[in-house]
A and B are shown apart, each in its own frame.
Chain A
Amino acid sequence: MRPKVDCFIITFDTTSHAIAMEKYCKEHQIKGRLIPVPATISAGCGICWKMTEEDYMSNQSQIQKIDYKEIHYIKL
């Protein structure tokens, strides 16, 4: 079994919102990447932004400016 690690997952209303997030993070040098939404968060398609705990904690205030749906702290 692949070992699981703690991470932050940010979800969005639409895929376009997720792409806007990726662009925003790139412009602000915030690390992370787009991944398919895990079924434990929402079953059936969609993409979300995955970040390490460290990256999330150090960029929390900037992330709050983004139009996101939910933030989850899970093991993936």
Chain B
Amino acid sequence: MIYLDNSATTLWKPKEVSDEIINALKTLGNSDRGAHETTLMASRTIYNTREELARLFNIDNPLNIAFTSNATEALNIAIFGILNSGDHVITTVCEHNSVLRPLYQKEKENVEISFLPIDKLGNICYENLDEYYKPNTKAIIVTHASNVVGNVTDLKKISDFAKLHNLILIVDAAQTVGVLPIDVKELGIDVLCFSGHKGLLGPQGTGGIYVNPKVKIRPLKVGGSGIESYSKNQPLSMPTLLEAGTLNGHGIAGLYGALQYLKKQGIEKLHQSEMKLANMFYQGLKDVPNITFYGDYQAQNRVPIVSLNINNIDSQLVSDWLFEDYGICVRAGAHCAPLMHKALGTILQGVVRFSFSHSNTEQEVELAIKAVKELAKQNET
């Protein structure tokens, strides 16, 4: 089997992840619930993971990071916790449903939404940003990289615009954490939403949200906190404000292991190696006449995604042939990004997305090139 669906979740995890999880399963109590050794062990593990994440994203205070079960939960917290009736928000057509669906919910509560369009290569059109600003604009929500075409957002441009108009910049970093360097201060990110199981190489069920202390945010869920138990309200201090209920201590321990691995390897080095594989794949197929590519493959900064279609064949069928005949795992269809497909003109056909990891090999890429060439040949007309 050749796994090329790393944008959905990375299949390969470092040994540090399973080691930490197994150790945690045997030793961790419920974090923040009492002061005996097993609960403290859990709290310490979770705190150490916050510290590692803070280091990775250049966040001053690790306690401004709350853990979530995934990027979707983090984005829901951000959107429901910051936007109010009467607010206007700017976003892009590149967004995943984890941004769009919470926004559509808020739209029913009188939140206005504007969408930045994309050009033919799938890049966000930044030229007329100012035209989207309104006196009631409160925030701008952007993905750091498209999960459909792999184009990276110019966060500096967006951040300058946000600063100019005093907007809250919310970034969906599901596709970029552990892949691209993220410095919340340099990029002016107020709220960073991320998953732990993709580029960070941690287990599923992990994710998080960083909130700049200047941003006022309401919790999405309230409940057990281990403190202020006689208060009717959720404690207001971060991270407890956003962390009602028992945290996924075992998963977070695994994420800690993953962060140790990333620190040792260096994410720049890992990114270079996965981009080499993605480029090799693109170069191997770019001249095949009946293949259409989606995305800006000349861009310097990309995430390792190559999306394509063969003629006008249903992308789902192509993905099934790839698996059935070659054992290649890819993702086809809409990738939970309906507006992106509308803009690309691929609503019906979808696209076949190949997403690479540093754990893939050149031999696997060669086999994938051969497979796509054969399918393209079989379906020339």
Contacts and interface: CB of A to CB of B under 8 A. Distances in A.
Interface in B217-255: 225-230, 235, 237-240
B375 interface: no
A15 B230 CA distance: 16
A15 B44 contact: no
Contacts of B31: 15
Contacts of A19: 40, 43-44, 46-47
Most B CB contacts (10 A, CB to CB) among A13, A16, A35, A47 go to A16
Contacts of A16: 32, 43, 46-47, 50, 63, 239-240
Interface string B255-279: 0000000000000000000000000
Interface stretch (A2-10, A38-46, A52-60): A38-46
Contacts of B63: 14, 16-17, 20
A16 B230 CA distance: 19
B35 interface: yes
B34 interface: yes
Contacts of A43: 229-230
Contacts of B226: 15, 45-47
Contacts of A17: 63, 237
A6 to B, nearest CB: 20
B35 A34 contact: yes
A20 B235 contact: no
A36 B43 contact: no
Nearest to B65: A16
Given A44-B228, A45-B226, A45-B229, A22 B44 contact: yes
Interface residues of A, number: 19
B227 A45 contact: yes
A26 to B, nearest CB: 10
Contacts of A45: 33-34, 225-229
Contacts, number: 66
A72 interface: no
Give the size category of B's interface with A: 20 to 34
Contacts of A34: 35, 40
B255 to A, nearest CB: 16
A17 B228 CA distance: 14
Nearest to A34: B35
Contacts of A23: 44, 47
Contacts of A35: 35
A13 B236 CA distance: 9
B341 to A, nearest CB: 41
Given A34-B35, A36-B35, A43-B230, A14 B235 contact: yes
B49 to A, nearest CB: 11
Given A14-B237, A16-B43, A19-B47, A44 B32 contact: no
Nearest to A44: B229
29 contacts: A13-B235, A13-B240, A14-B32, A14-B63, A14-B235, A15-B31, A15-B226, A16-B32, A16-B47, A16-B50, A16-B240, A17-B237, A19-B46, A20-B62, A22-B44, A34-B35, A34-B40, A35-B35, A36-B35, A42-B228, A44-B227, A45-B33, A45-B227, A45-B228, A45-B229, A47-B32, A47-B34, A47-B35, A47-B226
Interface of B: 31-35, 40, 43-44, 46-47, 50, 62-63, 225-230, 235, 237-240
Sort A-B residue pairs by CB-CB distance and give the 3 closest, nearest first: A44-B229, A15-B32, A13-B237
Given A14-B227, A14-B235, A16-B63, 5 more contacts: A14-B238, A18-B43, A23-B44, A44-B229, A45-B226
